[in-house]
Amino acid sequence: MIGKKIHNLCKQLLPLNRSLTGKGNRQTLKILKDICGNLKIKEVPSGEKVFDWTIPDEWNAKNAWIKCPDGKKIAIYQKNNLHLVSYSKKMNIKMSLDQLEHHLHYIKEQPNAIPYVTSYYNKNWGFCISYNERKKLKKGIYEIFIDSTFSKGSLTYGEILIPGKEKKEIFLSTYICHPSMANNELSGPTVTIFLAKWLMEKKRRYSYRIIFIPETIGSITYLKKNIRILKKRVIAGFNITCVGDNRSYSYIPSRNGNTLADKIGLHVIKNIDKNFFKYSWLNRGGDERQYCSPGIDLPLATIIRTKYGTYKEYHTSLDDLKSVVTPEGLDGGYNLLKKALEALENNYYYKNTFLCEPQMSKRGLYPNIGKKKHVSQDIRNMMNALSYCDGSNSLIDISEKLSLPYWKILPLMETLIKEKIIKKLLKNH
């Protein structure tokens, strides 16, 4: 089960402090590169304009803590990097509990959780603690220490380009900006790097463009630099996030809702889990916001496990590698996306090479003795599939018409091709 390998990679990456920029992102990408050597690490300098945005200064943190009046240290960054609000500025100051309260973040409804809080584009500072920890704090003077730096550095992202027989591309995008949370977001890049490794080892019809970026600013930056080639080449894509739990499956459409990615994604997910959750474009929240925005309009959809923001552990320390992300969940997320990519690779259009039905029995594809209930379901499926091979229906079209998953129809089509009863049409989507 590949989920175990992915889970072990998650364990290795979990402690690293990832954010929009910084050393944690570079460390993460270097480890991912060990899995797939084709990954190229790229840097975009702070201050560069990308559409309406600007690449922020690079932020790195070494340590942070709060010292209580009794001398005990809490919210220690080196024990859990979620304790420090991302992009907190350097601090070394003393203050009362009432003053400190304005910089503390906790969740009363989840008393054991450390929340995930950011202050990306506004220099501020803060600490995140559990509500149970907050209840223990007493009046007095607290010492605040944050050892962090802002510098004119860069935003770092990873890119894998895998050539295929055709220049048309499948686009996969995932995030590397979340620290110490398993489903959101370690499941995305870890599943994606193993998909890249699998793609490298197989014959490919299409070319693949796979990126590992910080959310929002990363996708905007990548679009700014690559929009022309993306619009020219990409025929389908998936935003990969929250693919590690074993609770449910979910589908979020593109803004258009009728792209090839929507068609493939919806077909695969409903045939894996009939009880999947189908969301609308109005429920979006990831980088589909950028890829499907007006004027960009890339054919990209999202197929995931439990949707971000809908599970109780989301954006807290409770999003862990025990109760949330499991090897079984990662295996399911990996296979969901693998089946979608296999569907894209095999989604040819087919045309019958005969007028009227060909004589199937002389090819051993139909029984020679005709009697009631002698025709198997596989033969019925084959004959039904053949009836739609008029050159205008693809593998997914035919599978949908027969209400069967494509992986049950594909072997039948391969048999018909082998017998020269149908032929593939090299028709672009």
Residue 89 domain boundaries: 58-151
The long-range contacts involving 409-413, CB below 8 angstroms and separated by at least 24 positions, are 409/381, 409/385, 410/346, 412/378, 412/381, 412/382, 412/385, 413/350, 413/385
Identify the bridge partners of residue 210 per DSSP, sorted by sequence position. 160, 172
Least confident of 189-193, 327-331, 372-376, 420-424: 372-376
What per-residue confidence (pLDDT) applies to 126?
Answer: 98
Asked if 147 and 179 sit in the same domain, the reply is no
> Whole-model pTM?
0.95
**What's the pLDDT band for 416 if we cut at 50, 70, 90?**
very high
**What's the pLDDT band for 374 if we cut at 50, 70, 90?**
low
Asked if 145 and 250 sit in the same domain, the reply is no
Asked if 420 and 315 sit in the same domain, the reply is no
Q: Which residues of 389-404 are buried (b: 16+ CB within 10 A; e: fewer)?
A: beeebbbbbbbbebeb
- Does residue 141 contact residue 69 with C-beta atoms inside 8 Å? yes
What per-residue confidence (pLDDT) applies to 375?
Answer: 64
273-291 pLDDT, tens digit per residue, is 999 999 999 999 999 999 9
What per-residue confidence (pLDDT) applies to 378?
Answer: 86
71-96 pLDDT, tens digit per residue, is 999 999 999 999 999 999 999 999 99
Report the domain count for the chain: 3
What per-residue confidence (pLDDT) applies to 204?
Answer: 97
At 241, which CATH number?
A: 3.40.630.10
224-280 pLDDT, tens digit per residue, is 999 999 999 999 999 999 999 999 999 999 999 999 999 999 999 999 999 999 999
Asked if 194 and 330 sit in the same domain, the reply is yes
The residue out of 326, 346, 366 marking a domain boundary is 346
Average pLDDT for 135-146: 98
The separation between the first and the last C-alpha atoms of the chain, rounded to the nearest angstrom, is 33
360 against 346, higher pLDDT: 346
What per-residue confidence (pLDDT) applies to 370?
Answer: 52
For the cut 70, the answer to whether the pLDDT of residue 424 exceeds it is: yes
Asked if 286 and 252 sit in the same domain, the reply is yes
Least confident of 153-157, 375-379, 387-391: 375-379
For the cut 90, the answer to whether the pLDDT of residue 426 exceeds it is: no
Asked if 297 and 176 sit in the same domain, the reply is yes
Identify the bridge partners of residue 301 per DSSP, sorted by sequence position. 238
Least confident of 100-114, 373-387, 411-425: 373-387
For the cut 70, the answer to whether the pLDDT of residue 173 exceeds it is: yes
387-406 pLDDT, tens digit per residue, is 999 999 999 999 999 999 99
The residue out of 151, 179, 213 marking a domain boundary is 151
90-118 pLDDT, tens digit per residue, is 999 999 999 999 999 999 999 999 999 99
Q: Which of 384, 371, 392 is nearest to 416 (CA)?
A: 384
- Containing 225, the helix (H) or strand (E) segment is helix 217-233
What per-residue confidence (pLDDT) applies to 428?
Answer: 53
Alpha carbon distance 169, 174 (integer Å): 16
The residue out of 295, 325, 346 marking a domain boundary is 346
Asked if 286 and 335 sit in the same domain, the reply is yes
Asked if 124 and 140 sit in the same domain, the reply is yes
What per-residue confidence (pLDDT) applies to 373?
Answer: 55
What mean pLDDT is reported for the chain? 96
Q: Which of 97, 50, 349, 39 is nearest to 221 (CA)?
A: 50
Asked if 43 and 105 sit in the same domain, the reply is no
At 120, which CATH number?
A: 3.50.30.90
Asked if 282 and 387 sit in the same domain, the reply is no
Asked if 272 and 404 sit in the same domain, the reply is no
Average pLDDT for 293-321: 97
Asked if 52 and 62 sit in the same domain, the reply is no
CA dist 309 → 36, 56, 279, 314, 316 (Å): 30, 26, 13, 6, 11
374 against 309, higher pLDDT: 309
